[in-house]
Amino acid sequence: MTARIARGSSQRARPKQAARGRPGRKQASPDPLSDFVRRMSWWIFILMIVAVAIASIVAFRIPQMIGTAVGEEIGEAGFAVKRVEIKGLERMQRLPVYAVALDQDSMAMPLVDLEATRARLLRFGWVREARVSRRLPDTLVVDIIERKPAAIWQHNQHLNLIDSEGVVLEAVRLEAMPDLPLVIGPAANRHAAELARLVQMAPQLKPMMAGASWIGGRRWDIRFQSGEVLALPEGVAAQRALVHFARMDQATQLLGRGFVRFDMRIPGKFIVRVSKEPGSALPLMPSEPPAPPPAAQVAEPVGRDVVPDLKTTI
């Protein structure tokens, strides 16, 4: 029994000797990914420092202060605004333009803000386009393209001169109104271009027109110098109606014969209104056109509308 125990001990000791004879483990090699992340972290940190430095410089306006100082030095050397030359101005007063051109934070030529000056000039109604440039050593050149007056807009008991696009140019005094068409009504100025295109369809009527009223935000009433009013339909039908009225006036001379109002709003009908004054009679038509029906020849009650025969309808 003793020998068996010894033999078993010997067998157990061998693994220990074999374990002692094994070589030791090698150390793990560095991970390339971890090294890359560590380097990128340093670069990000450096970039953040640079960004903070740049932000601080901008916040304290260091470049602007340096540029302003350099510009002032150039101005003191003789490159400062002393003259303003204005071109293209015909109707607008010059004093407001001078005031805008000379309203600068610094009169040194390099520091004059040309774009800001141009933007302030464009606020004037008369100015359609403006260009501001430097002419060294001491001159600002202002080129202006003016708007052309096209009509007078009457609204809320005020008179304003407007161009073909409806831009308000300036106020107009009643005693000094220019010889231009008068448009009346809210937002009538915004439809001035539409009215101009409408009048071009019947150019022979233009010299006889005194103005137009924008009715209900939908259509025009044309007023003539002889006192009549022509009520036109809405939309494109107004062009056809005006052209037809011009042809009828050329054939029968409707204007200047004592009529008060012509209504062409209803398709296919031409309604004529006579004077409301007591004792007024229905104006006589020329003998060339066909005679109106008997109902149109009889004296109508004052203020009634007269509808001519179908030969004169649209």
Q: What is the pLDDT of residue 57?
A: 52
The domain ranges of the chain are 73-146, 149-312
> Quick one: which of 95, 98, 88, 93 has its CA closest to 128?
88
Provide the strand spans (E) within the chain.
Answer: 83-87, 127-135, 139-146, 149-155, 158-163, 168-171, 182-184, 209-215, 219-224, 229-231, 261-263, 271-273, 305-306
> Quick one: which of 162, 193, 195, 202 has its CA closest to 180?
162
CB 246, CB 205: distance < 8 Å: yes
Q: What is the pLDDT of residue 40?
A: 72
Q: What is the pLDDT of residue 313?
A: 39
Q: Which residues pair with 146 in a beta bridge?
A: 127
Q: What is the pLDDT of residue 111?
A: 86
Q: What is the pLDDT of residue 176?
A: 83
CB 142, CB 94: distance < 8 Å: no
Same fold, 73-146 and 149-312: no
With a cut of 50, list the residues of the chain below it in pLDDT. Answer: 1-3, 5-13, 17-19, 21, 279, 287-304, 306-307, 309-314
Is the backbone peptide bond immediately before 267 cis, with ω within 30 degrees of 0? no
CATH architecture of 149-312: 3-Layer(aba) Sandwich (3.40)
Classify domain 73-146 at the CATH topology level: Ubiquitin-like (UB roll) (3.10.20)
Q: What is the pLDDT of residue 213?
A: 95
Model confidence, pTM: 0.62
Q: Which residues pair with 219 in a beta bridge?
A: 215
